[in-house]
Amino acid sequence: MSLERLKLLHIDDEELRREEFGKWLTELGINFDQASDEPTALDLLQRNKYNVVLSDTYQGTDAYGPEIMRKAENLGIKPVIIAYSAFSLHNWRDHYDHSLNLNQGKQKIKDELQKTLQEIHDDIPPSVTERIKSFLYGLRGGVKNE
């Protein structure tokens, strides 16, 4: 699977979850950064262009994932948001595009994450470079060698 068009920011205050998700994202070949708190997340969002944010909805005592995204939106930043929690996400529905429930086995979470990221990736229009490569490939394929 190739997910090269994704640039993802993962936000979670728990180191073990950052490590676990980081391992999965690396296995999927995704270009990603991680933040453990609100100031770092907002700084990264301002300095980099992410098309996906994967965030825990509860970030310790200082911020909630939706609050971080609300602040990012005020800065004109609006990536696709995947929220996750071990608790109900019902109250946060206006703040995310996709969700993961952490109350299931690791393999199920990983599979859901992979499926969701593939759907997002497939919706991203190919870059100009990819379109040119495809066009040139089509031309080469149409040329007969005599």
CA–CA distance from 93 to each of 29, 38, 59, 70, 89 (Å)? 28, 20, 17, 13, 7
Residue 39 has pLDDT above 60, yes or no: yes
Question: CA of 50: how far to CAs of 10, 44, 46, 99, 120, in Å?
Answer: 10, 9, 10, 18, 12
Taking all residues of the chain, what is their mean pLDDT, rounded to a whole number? 77
The pTM of the full predicted model, rounded to 2 decimals, is: 0.74
pLDDT digit string (tens) for 100-127? Answer: 777 777 888 888 888 888 888 888 776 6
The CATH classification number of 7-142 equals: 3.40.50.2300
As given in the structure block, the two tokens for residue 74 are 């005020």
**Cα(63)–Cα(24) distance, rounded to whole angstroms?**
25
Mean pLDDT of 16-45: 90
The domain spans of the chain are 7-142
